[in-house]
Amino acid sequence: MNHTLNRKIQKLTELRTDQPDFINALNHLSTFYKSNTPNDRRDLISKIEQNNLNINLQLLQAFELVQQQLNQIEESVSELKVCCDNLDNKLSSMRNVAGKIINEAQQLHETSEEVEMKKQIAKNFLDKFQLSQNEMDALNIYSSNLDIDKSFFLSLNHVHQIHNDCKLLFRTQYQRASLEIIDKMTELEQHAYERIRGWIRLQCQAYYQESPEITILFRTAFITLQDRPSFFNDCIDQLKTARCKALVNSFLCALTQGNKQNAAAPIDAHAHDTLRYVGDILAWIHQGVASESDLINALFGPSSLSAQSIIEPNNQQLNPQFSSLILDPDQRIGSIQLVLTILSRCFEDVCRPFSDRMEQIIQILITNTEIIILWQLWHLLDFYFNILIFTSNQSNLSMKLNSNSNSNSNSNSN
């Protein structure tokens, strides 16, 4: 008993009342322990326990609210997890779809590059083997209008180039395409040549004049028409006829009317003076042959058929595209033989009135036995024969002079 009491007393003496926890405990105890009676001391433990119970109940009530909020949070987190799972599934599905779309896009990109390359190849093919709209308008083959400009010949030259390129294309696997293009180009060429022939025949009307103007287009048209010999010869005949009629009219005008520009008297006015009369006629013929030779050489001579005579429509520069129209020197349509043939035909009709007058003069001189005049006339004819033979090269005119000279010589011999 004493031992127990001593132990309690010792415990009380060892208790430190200045500790903050002890002071706080006493302050809290004073809130519900009001009096220090024996009953209160006996009920102190039960009150303390009751107070702890109340505190725990309050704490429990407070945690119930927290528990509700935690439950709500748990529900929200669960819903959020479900949404995230759905989003993850959708993202996985979209990832697969996006992968397919990326693969398709890559394939489309590759296909697009291939299509673009094929498009460029097709464009290059069409540019090389098809006429542009401007070139088709320049050819204008289905129009009744025969007007031709330089762009027409440029377009026609492109047709020639396409036609030649198709011969190379025919050696490849594109034979059907090359045949179709060749047929189309052949049709265009035929219509173009027919239009050139009609245009030349129309332009030849201007060559019925004594001194017509020679244009680059007219020369180029003849150069181009060389690929169609029938058309070319037809146009040459038309030109011959025009120049022949122009020369005959000019010759007859000089004989009967004279030259109004320089007030020259008609040649027939000097018919009484045989040598002067024949000399004037031969001088006119010599001048006419020289002028006509210059005209024909300007049209068909080698110098006129050079590349310099074919120029661009706008800048008057040499057009290399026309190089295919220029023949080799030994193949040019402006060869000497062609020039002389045209020149000979132009003076055929001039020979008739000249021959008639010469025969009449010679007959009169023979009848009157004018031997000296006949001898002088023979030298005059021989002189002009030697001059004209280098120009006309045994043309009808030079042969007629030679014939008259020989007949005059025979008359002198007799």
pLDDT the model gives residue 41: 65
**Stretch 319-333: mean pLDDT, rounded?**
42
% of the chain residues with pLDDT over 90: 1
Residue 221 clears pLDDT 80, i.e. is over it? yes
pLDDT the model gives residue 141: 64
**Stretch 135-160: mean pLDDT, rounded?**
78
Confidence of residue 321 (pLDDT cuts 50, 70, 90): very low
pLDDT the model gives residue 267: 76
pLDDT the model gives residue 414: 46
**Six token digits for residue 307:** 């590349």
Confidence of residue 144 (pLDDT cuts 50, 70, 90): low
CB atoms within 10 A of CB 353: 14
Residue 245 clears pLDDT 70, i.e. is over it? yes
Residue 277 clears pLDDT 70, i.e. is over it? yes
Residue 325 clears pLDDT 80, i.e. is over it? no
Confidence of residue 83 (pLDDT cuts 50, 70, 90): very high
pLDDT the model gives residue 302: 60
Burial class from Cβ neighbours inside 10 Å (0-12, 13-18, 19+) for residue 177 reads middle
Residue 157 clears pLDDT 70, i.e. is over it? yes
Q: Give the integer Cα–Cα distance in Å for 2 and 53.
A: 35
Residues 6+ apart with CB under 8 A from 196: 148, 221, 224, 225, 231
% of the chain residues with pLDDT over 70: 77
pTM over 0.95: no
Under 8 Å between Cβ of 188 and 136: no
Name the range with the highest mean pLDDT among 88-102, 171-185, 293-307: 88-102
Worst-scoring range by mean pLDDT, 52-66, 129-143, 298-312, 342-356?
A: 298-312
Residue 373 clears pLDDT 70, i.e. is over it? yes
- Amino acid identity at 104: E
Confidence of residue 49 (pLDDT cuts 50, 70, 90): confident
**What mean pLDDT is reported for the chain?**
75
200: nearest Cα among 184, 185, 217 = 217
